[in-house]
Amino acid sequence: MFAPNSRRWFFAGARTALSGPAWYVGLSLMSTGALARAAAFPPEAAMLATALIWAGPGQVLFFGAMAAKTAPAAIAFAVSLSSARLLPMCLSVLPMLRGEKTRRSTLLLAAHFIAVTVWAESLRRLPGMEKSRRLPFFFGFALTCSGLTTLTTGVGYWLTAAVPAPLAAGLMMLSPFYFLAATARASREGADWLAIGAGAVLAPLTQAFVGGGFDLLALAIVAGAGAWLPGFFARRAAA
């Protein structure tokens, strides 16, 4: 898959991951191990979920809804909706990785690793890098993040039962803090901030008044469309 000298760049990517981001996402997603335990899943299933789903909000949603005995079809729908954000993330990274001879199977594999952490670091580091080095660097970085987090998920499964209650509470809050901060960090325009604000204001209302497990869907559509509309009309007026 790689050119001969690209092993160096693979390890450069791995080192970059170990210098911070991999620990960071690994620690944040430890709480999904605890959530899996609360949902009566075995630790191996929690680790499999990290390796396969590799999307924090989707994993949190999956185990949270499983613990609440939500219907599987409704969970699949909610998980899919929460992962829709991966589409624009992948679309903004893949063109940077694609060369003239890059196979589609390579891109499919690369796309699997794109989630908040890998996306944010890719946007930051890939543009200044020679094109032939990007793919090995990307895979070194992404595999390290995913591998370490799969291990910490297993650790989190057991750890939350062994640590004092206040620390366990702190562990459960890691991913909410991380997701909100990373989303705010990636916000580039007014619509992003509007979506965050509208989501926060409307969430208690939809939780109180929309039943049947559709409150998140209703919230996402109403707050999301509401945040997108002002910009849409502004761009139309300007065009």
Site for another protein in 86-145 (CB under 8 A): 86-88, 90-92, 94-95, 98, 104, 107-108, 111-112, 114
Binding string, 37-76, against another protein, x = CB under 8 A? -xxxxx-xx--xx--xx-x-xxxxxx-x-xx----x--xx
Q: Are 148 and 15 in contact (CB under 8 A)?
A: no
Which CB, 5 or 170, lies closer to another protein? 170
Q: Which two tokens stand for residue 186?
A: 């990636």
Question: CA-CA distance, 70 to 39, in Å (whole number)?
Answer: 11
User: With binding defined as CB under 8 A, does residue 224 bind another protein?
Assistant: yes
Burial label for 144, CB within 10 Å (0-12, 13-18, 19+), is buried
- Six token digits for residue 52: 């396969």
Give yes or no for residue 25 binding another protein (CB under 8 A): no
Distance CA 137, CA 118 (A): 11
Cα 62 to Cα 56: distance, rounded to the nearest angstrom: 10
Q: What is the per-residue binding string for another protein in 155-194, x denoting contact by CB under 8 A?
A: -----x----xxxxxxxxxxxxxxxxxxxxx-x---xx-x
22 vs 114 by CB, closer to another protein: 114
Nearest approach, Cβ of residue 237 and another protein (Å): 14
Residue number with CB closer to another protein (12 or 39) = 39
Contact 29, 51 (CB under 8 A): no
Output the smallest distance, CB 135 to another protein, in A. 14
Q: How many CB atoms lie within 10 A of CB 158?
A: 13
Q: Binding residues for another protein, how many (CB under 8 A)?
A: 101
Residue 7 or residue 228: which is nearer to another protein going by CB? Answer: 228
CB 52 within 8 A of CB 59: no
Whether the CB-CB separation of 134 and 96 falls below 8 Å is answered with yes
Q: Shortest approach of another protein to residue 74 CB, angstroms?
A: 10
Note whether 213 binds another protein by CB under 8 A. no
CB 38 → another protein: shortest distance, Å? 5
